[in-house]
Chains A and B, each alone.
Chain A
């Protein structure tokens, strides 16, 4: 093992001194290098580590729709009361479900329909018809039915506005957007019950829509209406700042 140290002088001392002097310079260079590296080493090699947390957030889905429509019926409005059956079998009503959507999250997939299409044929003044339907939660989180809306603009010839819980279709002759006294109702629509509130996943609520054709309705016309029902996720009121 090489070693370094002091030895007693001998005859070759001078030569050794020269060699030793050179060695000292070389060693000093190494020493400085080692010191520099050690300083750098402290900076780079100080111990550190990390703990890991991995997270996965799988989102659910909100699907609102209809699953059934049917049990339609009709009658005639007499003195503010619905008389059934229709005194003469004239008018008729049918309904169909359109635009299916199926959840991909539920263990048993559930298909709901985004549109309920109702067709009345051979309608006449004071004809009343209805259909039963269900509002369904086809998604994986609860929903809250919060709003029923009609278009702001006229649908073909009729303007639709809410009067209480009744949707009233009328001809807005002065185009002021409201039903004035001289603008009688042509069609009234209402729900029994008009449902507001929560529906849990896989659950549904029953409702019925009534369509009452009033006296001002004209012959051979086709009237159209559109009502949208809006649902939010049930916790929409609990939004943190």
Chain B
């Protein structure tokens, strides 16, 4: 029986090739892994969930603001409440994102002082950097009077109608997680406010992470 040498050589060749390849694939290897998880903290500030804002009227008597209205009258009224409830998803702490102040039957010299509380409901310290005052209707243009600290709202004629300020120790104010701070917003109706008008103001209290 004639056996072709080539046929004998072929399996051998295959075996050699496979062994080489096998050596290459079967080389022992191993891997280790590092798995990382970064859970970001919550960052939220809000008006206090439990303590409602308190609003008082005051009038200027000789040299200071005195509670009430002149001569003990009850003419104007002020009401403040929180709105837009939220819950920080990380801490589960609730708060409000908005405060609404309503003044009725106002008159020149009428002044309302609203005390409110801001909580850091998140997990990261925040810097309250300041605030701005605007009028979404565009009737009043507010600019900050750096001398008095009041934001002055003037109408299209340039008449001073409304002044607003947020009173605090000083801005920027750092508020750690779980800390709260009481502040006050003062609204003063000026001499050139017109009868039967409705004026609007919008205050934005600005904050950012403490280490920007």
Contact = CB atoms under 8 A, between A and B. Distances in A.
A55 interface: yes
A235 B69 contact: yes
A181 interface: no
Interface string A128-170: 0000000000011110000000000000000000000000000
10 contacts: A46-B208, A51-B205, A53-B98, A53-B116, A54-B98, A54-B201, A57-B187, A234-B73, A235-B73, A238-B59
Interface in A220-241: 233-241
Contacts of B107: 59-60, 62, 141, 233, 235
B199 A59 contact: yes
Nearest to B203: A53
A82 B206 CA distance: 75
Interface of A: 46-62, 104-105, 139-142, 198, 200-201, 233-241
B196 interface: yes
Contacts of A234: 70-71, 73
A60 B195 contact: yes
Interface of B: 43-47, 59-61, 65, 69-71, 73, 75-76, 97-109, 111, 116, 118, 124, 162, 164, 185, 187-189, 191, 193-209, 212
Given A59-B107, A233-B107, A234-B73, 18 more contacts: A46-B209, A46-B212, A47-B208, A48-B209, A49-B207, A50-B207, A51-B47, A51-B97, A52-B99, A53-B205, A57-B187, A58-B102, A58-B103, A60-B107, A200-B73, A201-B75, A235-B70, A238-B70
Contacts of A238: 59-61, 70, 109
A50 B109 contact: no
Contacts of A198: 71
A59 B203 contact: no
Contacts of A48: 206-209, 212
